[in-house]
Amino acid sequence: MLAEIFGPELLIVLAVILVLFGGSQLPKLARGLGSAQREFKKGLDEGAADDAPEKK
Give dist(CA 21, CA 38) in Å, integer.
22
Instruction: Supply the Cα-derived Rg of the chain in whole angstroms.
Output: 18
Q: In a structure prediction context, what are the per-residue pLDDT tens digits for the chain, which is 56 residues long?
A: 556 778 888 889 889 988 988 888 888 988 999 999 999 999 999 888 877 676 55
Q: Is 52 helix (H, G, I), strand (E, B) or coil?
A: coil
Residue 40 has a pLDDT of 95
Query: What pLDDT does residue 43 have?
Result: 92
Please report how many Cα atoms fall inside a 13 Å half-sphere around the Cα of residue 39, on the Cβ side.
6
